Amino acid sequence: MALAPNTNGALVLPGAGPTSQHTPPPESSTDSDETALGPTYSGEDIRPTSDKELRAWYAYAWAAEPYVVVAIATFIPLTLEALARENGHLLGQPDVPCTPKSFPIPIPGPEPGPPHTLPKTPTAFFRPDPNQCIIHLLGIRMASSSFAMYTFSISVLLQSLVIVSMSGAADHGSYRKKLLLFFAALGSVSTMLFIVVKPGAYPLAALWTILSNVSFGASFVLLNAFLPVLVRNHPTVQAQLKSSLLDVEPDSESAPTENTALLSSTSTPPPSVTASALGLSTKISSTGVAIGYLAGAFLQALAIFVIRAFSSSPIFGLEVILFIVGAWWAGFSIFVALWMRPRPGPPLPRVDAKPGDPVDERIGWDAVAYAWKNFGAQLGSQVN
């Protein structure tokens, strides 16, 4: 039996009707390019927030939050203390190491006093502990227990400086996602590098702590910079805004046009839309926190088994746990690279810009100067 082509070029049996063509299902509203209103600045991505973007936001909370729950809160302080003690000596006894390995060394303790009595003089309160471990770092004499505190103090100071300096780049231009991935890579690799630190190179552990802690804080600032954009372009908020536009009198002076911004400084959305957006923002944020702490609890439980497995080498066991935390951070950050859209912010305001000049989206030292200028202005307004 011969086959004859139909009008579409498909081969059909003679006398048979046209073959049914498979039509792919339409994309969901969250992945479409439909928008409520036009962009408010050049390069703005106003596509509705997709499910993949929300999963990417949650994925980074799942990836990075265990660093605080497991590493910063528990195992980095223990690791810093253990590595420092390997290089220290007892107070007043330079020849007696804090952690003898080959033979037991008697450690003198404080002289016992009468039970339930107070010292006769106030100076007895300040009697040095003979069991205190002393280290010498860069010519500075300190207790081994202070090594972690000094390290965290320096990391928090640098973290605050970095966060303020990059705030301009987080809110303007197209570097938000790139910076997030950069700090995620730097922080996760720094955490994994604990595993190569030997007791004799314990200052490296302080360096990895500083780099990872600064990177964690900076990356979460960048992650939270995505939240207002995801909420503003969420289909639920967009639908309510469209509905609110239909309820406004066309001749009203405050009636928005097709180019009016949504939930931005150039327009005042109805209170119901604002409340819905705030509720959605709270829901996304709280869900991310819950997911992150769930991941932290899982790794904390896993750390118990790691400690037991490396009971003969406790320092290496601590470093293995930190390596797992860093690998976890790096692995799940891949979903941010795959699913999160860059969502560029508005161009950085420039003092010397003239009307009609082309927009320069490059972010450099101008962003740092702009960030500190804004910080100084806000600080001055609070003081005054």
Which residue carries 């932290």 as its tokens?
A: 296
Cα four-point dihedral sign 114, 117, 122, 127: positive
Instruction: Name, in order, each residue with C-beta under 8 angstroms of 44's C-beta and a sequence gap of 6 or more.
Output: 344, 346
d(CA 210, CA 190): 9
Q: For 309-365, what is each residue's pLDDT tens digit?
A: 999 899 999 999 999 999 999 999 999 999 999 998 888 776 555 555 555 555 667
Predicted structure pTM score: 0.76
User: Taking a C-beta distance cutoff of 8 angstroms, is the pair 276, 70 a contact?
Assistant: no
Compute CA distances 349 → 124, 235, 374, 378, whole Å: 63, 30, 12, 17
Six token digits for residue 78: 């223990």
Specify which residues 97 forms β-bridges with: 89
Domain 54-93+130-244+271-344 indexed as CATH 1.20.1250.20: yes
Q: For 90-148, what is each residue's pLDDT tens digit?
A: 887 887 888 765 434 444 445 555 554 444 545 544 455 667 898 988 888 988 889 99
Side by side, the strands of the sheet bearing 140-143 are 93-97, 89-90, 133-137, 140-143
Rounded to a whole number, what is the distance in angstroms from the first to the last CA of the chain? 93
Q: For 193-252, what is each residue's pLDDT tens digit?
A: 999 999 889 999 999 999 999 999 999 999 999 999 999 999 988 888 887 766 554 444
